[in-house]
Amino acid sequence: MHVLRSLRLGVAALGVAASPLAAQQLPVSDPVLARIWTLGMDSSRAMDWLQTLSDSIGPRLNGAPGHRAGNAWLVQQYGALDITARNEQYGTWRSWKRGVSHLDLVAPRVRSLEAMMLAWSPGTKGVVEAVPVIVPALADSAAFAAWLPEAKGKFVLISEPQPTCRPDSAYKQFALPATWDKLQKERAAARTAWEKRITATGYTARTLPVALEKAGAKGVLTSLWSAGWGVDKIFNARTEQVPTFDVSCEDYGLVYRLTEKHQSPRLRMTAEASFESAEQPVYNTIAEIPGKKSDEFVMMSAHFDSWDGSSGTTDNGTGTVVMMEALRILKQVLPNPTRTIRVGHWGGEEQGLNGSHAYVEDHPDLITGLQALFNQDNGTGRIVNMSASGYVDAGAKLADWISRLPADFTRGLTLGLPGAPAGGGSDHSSFVCAGAPGFSLGALGWEYGAYTWHTNRDTYDKAVADEIKHNAVMTAMLVYLASEDPERVGRTKREMGPGAWPVCTKSARTAAQSTR
């Protein structure tokens, strides 16, 4: 703790700049760092790229046409910068294309519901109307098996309703203490009761939808509220024959109450979706600037795939354009680096880091020669924390590189030494488990977890341009320093006890191999 505190004070003391303008005027002894700053702040391409990626290409669901279009776009953009890039196939995946979908309440009144078909959901054959029914609270799986025929011809609600769709933050700010305490108890009780209800069916949240469609249900309705205003998590369907829709917290509660109180609700659904007949190729996009030492590498990376409930902007379009912009800058300031500088735009991260795991498996030479990998995958916020990932000797190198950055990039930055190895979560862990120095560039939250991570609100407008420019410049500076450092980063692992260092998971190269 004392070492970390001293490091933070030493880094913060490097400059007195309090604003980007002041930092631009700050004397920098290294002319390359100064040039990186100027290019990143005065001629950034990041937001233009992000707008095209978010609004025009849109979400990059693994294996879907949008992902392949995005891969091609990446290669095209790098080519325009005279940077070598390629799409490297690592496997195949189910290719699903979303069409127009709609869910409406048609009785006892008319309302178009805020609802979204989940990824890889089957569509309908035309318009389907049916009444909703709630998974019942029964004693055991035998009782549920006896009830299952009741699901035939109906839309089945399988998620708990929320006591309120008003976020807890509002209750904390405005409610009387007794009201806030009551709400907490209600939420906890409702969650426990629903978990008990699902367990009693003899199925899990994953297997229950399949049982319902086999019983003849017309569709499955879920609601995975993200605890913020108007925001839901959007993942994938488990059904193979009938549609699965996520319904907003408010509209799910409406349908649930109408059903529970026997007020004769009726729903109308239209869902268009298509699958290609066979699994389609999936790719990592790799770009690089060759170095004098062709067997040594510095990498930047970010996953390129996304869920398709929205535009995939902060998860992880922002990380994508940070790495694109950093490489654009480096191509101009460091056209002949000492070590090869390589960018990995990974596929299949959302299904278990499959793209980066596969890359590690397929490129043992890179793992042997890797100086450092910098990965960014946590939204639009500026970088405020890093860790040595459990490598005892890496901390000194990270501290040295960070100490050379202008103060605007180090003020408030926390560096964990030696830290702990990442066991998952994002793609740097694919390198750490293989014994290579992979580091995560941790960002400020900007309400990422509640509002944009895997949600229906992850759109271009949520990106913060100043933060993204900051991150691209900082990444380019770190990569430059790592590339030109005459010494290699050490790989001594901290003592963590038997079996504590993460073991690499074999990549799923096909959808059939996936356990998610």
Question: Domain check: are 247 and 385 in the same one?
Answer: no
How many domains does the chain divide into?
2
AA identity, residue 88: E
Last residue of a domain, one of 224, 247, 274: 274
Q: Which helix (H) or strand (E) holds 252?
A: helix 249-260
For residue 16, being part of any structural domain is answered with no
Domain at 256, CATH number: 3.50.30.30
What whole-number distance in Å separates Cα of residue 422 and Cα of residue 387?
Answer: 10
Question: Domain check: are 291 and 320 in the same one?
Answer: yes
**Tokens found for residue 186:** 């209600």
Domain of 483? 65-95+279-492
For residue 298, being part of any structural domain is answered with yes
For residue 7, being part of any structural domain is answered with no
Which 8-state DSSP code applies to residue 448? I
The pLDDT value recorded for residue 423 is: 85
User: Are 504 and 360 in contact, with CB atoms under 8 Å apart?
Assistant: yes
For residue 129, what are the β-bridge partners?
268
Series of mean pLDDT values for 10-residue runs along the chain (516 residues) = 36 34 56 96 97 98 98 98 98 97 98 98 97 98 98 98 96 97 96 97 97 98 97 97 98 98 98 95 98 98 98 98 98 98 98 98 97 98 97 95 93 94 93 97 97 98 98 98 97 87 95 88
Question: Domain check: are 234 and 328 in the same one?
Answer: no
The pLDDT value recorded for residue 28 is: 66
Question: Domain check: are 186 and 314 in the same one?
Answer: no
For residue 513, being part of any structural domain is answered with no
Which 8-state DSSP code applies to residue 504? P
Question: Domain check: are 313 and 248 in the same one?
Answer: no
Helix 65-80 × helix 318-333 angle, to 10°: 20
Question: Domain check: are 192 and 162 in the same one?
Answer: yes
The pLDDT value recorded for residue 431 is: 97
Domain at 87, CATH number: 3.40.630.10
For residue 261, being part of any structural domain is answered with yes
What whole-number distance in Å separates Cα of residue 221 and Cα of residue 253?
Answer: 11
For residue 25, being part of any structural domain is answered with no
User: Are 386 and 482 in contact, with CB atoms under 8 Å apart?
Assistant: no
pTM over 0.95? The answer is no
The pLDDT value recorded for residue 6 is: 35
User: Are 168 and 450 in contact, with CB atoms under 8 Å apart?
Assistant: no
How does DSSP assign 30-75, residue by residue?
A: -HHHHHHHHHHHHS--HHHHHHIIIIII----TTSHHHHHHHHHHH
The residue ranges of DSSP E strands in 187-276, in sequence order, are: 219-222, 225-228, 231-232, 244-247, 266-275
Question: Domain check: are 377 and 414 in the same one?
Answer: yes
Cβ-based neighbour number of residue 279 at 10 Å: 17
Question: Domain check: are 177 and 255 in the same one?
Answer: yes
Last residue of a domain, one of 274, 302, 324: 274
The pLDDT value recorded for residue 15 is: 31
